[in-house]
A and B are shown apart, each in its own frame.
Chain A
Amino acid sequence: MNDSRSAPRLEARLKVTGQARYSAETQIPGLLHAALVTAPIARGRVTDIDASRAERLPGFVAIMTHENAAPLARAAAVLHLQGPEVRFAGEPVAVVIARSPIAARRAAAAVDVVYEAEPAATDFDLFLGEAYAPRTAGRTPTDSLRGDPEDALARARVSLDLRYETAANNHHPMEPQSVIADWGPDLLTVYTTTQAVFAHRAAIAGAFGLEVEKVRVVCEYLGGGFGAKGGAWYPGMILGIQLARHVGAPVRLELTRAQMFTLVGRRQETRQHLRLGADGDGRLTAIALDTVAPTSTYAEYADAVATTARMMYACPNVATTHRLVRLNAPQPNPMRAPGEGPGSFALESAMDELAHELQLDPLELRLRNFAVRDQNADLSWSSNGLRECYQVGAEAFGWAGRPLAPGALRDGRRTLGWGMAAVCYPVYSMASAASVALESDGGIVVRCGTQDMGTGTITVLGQLAAAILDVPLARVRVEIGDTLLPEGPYSGGSIATASFTPAVEAAARDLRTRLITLASTDPASSLLGEAQPDLVLEDGHVRSLTGNRSESLAALAGRAAPGGLEAFAQTTPDPDRPVSAFGFGAVFAEVAVDPELGEVRLKRLTAAYAAGRILNPLLARSQYVGGLIGGIGMALHEATVDDKASGRVLGDNLADYLIPVQADMPAFDVHMIHEDDPHLPGGIKGIGMLGTVGTAGAIANAVFHATGVRIRRLPIRIEDCIVQA
Chain B
Amino acid sequence: MRAFDYLRAQTEGEALAAAGQDGAAFIAGGTDLMPLWKAGVAAPGLLIDIGRLPLAEVTARDGGLVFGATARLADIADHPEVRRRHPAIAQAIEASASGQVRNMATLGGALLQRTRCVYFRSGITPCEKLEPGSGCAAVAGENRLHAIFGGGPSCVATHASDLAVALVALDAQVRLRSLAGERVLPLTALYLPAGESPARETVLVPGEMIVAVEVPDAGGRSLYLKIRDRASFEFAVVSVAVALEVADGRVQSVRLAAGGVGTMPWRLRASEAALTGAEAGEAVFRAAAGLAADGAQPLAHNGFKIELLKRTVLRALVQAGDQT
Direct A–B contact present (CB less than 8 angstroms): yes
> CB within 8 Å of B: which residues of A?
40, 102, 105-106, 108-109, 258, 596-599, 601, 636-637, 641, 643-646, 648-653, 655-656, 658, 660-664, 715, 717-719, 722, 725
Contact of A653 (CB < 8 Å), options: B35, B144, B230: B35
Chain B residue with Cβ nearest A654: B233
Contacting A637 at CB < 8 Å: which of B39, B229, B315? B229
- Beta-carbon contact of B1 and A661 below 8 Å: no
Decide if B205 is an interface residue (CB 8 Å cutoff). no
**Interfacial chain A residues near B270, Cβ < 8 Å:** none
A661 with B118: in contact, given A644-B141, A645-B141, A646-B137 (CB under 8 Å)?
no
For residue B302, which residue of chain A has the nearest CB? A719
B231 touches A643 (CB 8 A): no
Contact A106 B124 (CB under 8 A): no
**Chain B residue with the shortest CB-CB distance to A641:** B142
Residues of A within 8 A of B304 (CB): 598, 718-719, 722
Q: Which residues of A contact B2 (CB under 8 A)?
A: 106, 109
Report the nearest B residue to A643, measured CB to CB.
B141
What distance in Å separates the Cβ of A590 from its nearest Cβ neighbour in chain B? 15
Instruction: For A652, list chain B residues within 8 Å (CB).
Output: 122
Q: How far is the CA of A652 from the CA of B229 in the complex (A)?
A: 18
Contact A656 B116 (CB under 8 A): yes
B11 at the interface (CB under 8 A from A): no
- What are the residues of chain B within 8 A of A656 when measuring CB–CB? 116, 118, 121
B200 contacts chain A at the CB level, 8 A cutoff:
no
Q: Is the CB of A650 within 8 A of B307?
A: no
Contact A718 to B230, CB < 8 A, known contacts A645-B141, A649-B122: no
In residues 98-140 of chain B, which contact A (Cβ within 8 Å)?
A: 116, 118-119, 121-122, 124, 137, 140
- Residues in B with CB closer than 8 Å to A653 are 35, 39, 121-122
Q: Are B119 and A650 in contact (CB under 8 A)?
A: yes
Question: Are the CB atoms of A601 and B231 closer together than 8 Å?
Answer: yes
- 9 closest A-B pairs by beta carbon, nearest first, are A663-B232, A719-B304, A663-B231, A650-B118, A651-B118, A109-B1, A106-B1, A664-B231, A105-B1
The interface centre, meaning the residue of B118, B234, B235, B237 with most chain A CB atoms within 10 A of its CB, is B118
A641: which B residues are within 8 A, CB to CB?
Answer: 118, 142
Residue of A nearest to B137 (CB): A645
B200-244: which residues lie under 8 A (CB-CB) from chain A? 227-235, 237
B residues contacting the other copy or chain, number (CB 8 A): 34
Contacts of B230 in A (CB 8 A): 636-637, 658, 660-661, 663-664
Q: Determine whether the beta carbon of A597 is less than 8 Å from that of B142.
A: no
Chain B, residues 146-189, CB within 8 Å of chain A (1/0): the string is 00000000000000000000000000000000000000000000
Q: Which of B144, B233, B307, B315 contacts A722 (CB 8 A)?
A: B307
Q: Which residues of B contact A646 (CB under 8 A)?
A: 124, 137
Q: Is B3 part of the contact surface with A, judged by Cβ < 8 Å?
A: yes
> How long is the Cα–Cα vector from A635 to B253 in the complex, in angstroms?
42
Known contacts A106-B2, A636-B229, A646-B137: A722-B121 contact under CB 8 Å: no
Contact pick for A597, options B35, B124, B315, CB 8 Å: B315
Query: Within 8 Å of chain A (Cβ to Cβ): is B40?
Result: yes
Q: Which residue on chain A has the smallest CB distance to residue B140?
A: A645
By the criterion CB–CB under 8 Å, are B231 and A661 in contact?
A: yes
A655 CB contacts on chain B under 8 angstroms = 116, 233-235
CA distance A489 to B3 in the complex (A): 45
Distance of B4 from chain A, by nearest CB (Å): 11
* Known A-B contacts A106-B3, A641-B142, A656-B116; A718 and B308 likewise in contact (beta carbons under 8 Å): yes
B 68-93 binary contact with A (CB < 8 Å = 1; else 0): 00000000000000000000000000
B263 sits at the interface (CB 8 A): no
In the bound complex, do residue A599 and residue B228 qualify as a contact, i.e. CB atoms below 8 Å apart? yes
How near does chain A come to B38, taking the closest CB pair, in angstroms?
Answer: 8
Residues of A near B311 (CB, < 8 A) are 596-597, 722, 725
Interface centre among B119, B121, B229, B311 (most CB of A within 10 A): B229
Q: Is the CB of B229 within 8 A of A651?
A: no
From A637, A648, A715, A719, contact of B124 by CB (8 A) = A648
Query: Which residues on A sit within 8 Å (CB–CB) of B229?
Result: 599, 636-637, 658, 715, 717-718
**CA A167 – CA B245 in complex, angstroms?**
45
A662 to chain B, nearest CB (A): 7
Q: Given A109-B40, A645-B140, A655-B116, check contact A661 B121 (CB 8 Å).
A: no
Q: Which residue in chain A gives the minimum CB-CB distance to B43?
A: A109
Contact in complex: B308, A597 (CB < 8 Å): yes
Q: Does B312 contact A (CB under 8 A)?
A: yes
Nearest chain B residue, comparing its CB with the CB of A656: B118
Bound CA span A601–B1, Å: 39
Q: Which residue of B lies closest to A598 (CB)?
A: B308
Given contacts A597-B315, A653-B39, A658-B234, 16 further A-B contacts (CB under 8 A): A258-B122, A596-B311, A597-B308, A599-B229, A601-B231, A643-B124, A643-B142, A646-B137, A650-B119, A650-B141, A651-B121, A656-B121, A660-B230, A663-B232, A715-B229, A718-B229
Interface CB pairs A-B, < 8 A, 5: A599-B227, A649-B122, A664-B230, A718-B228, A718-B308
The chain A residue with its CB closest to the CB of B310 is A725
Evaluate contact between B232 and A664: CB separation under 8 angstroms: yes
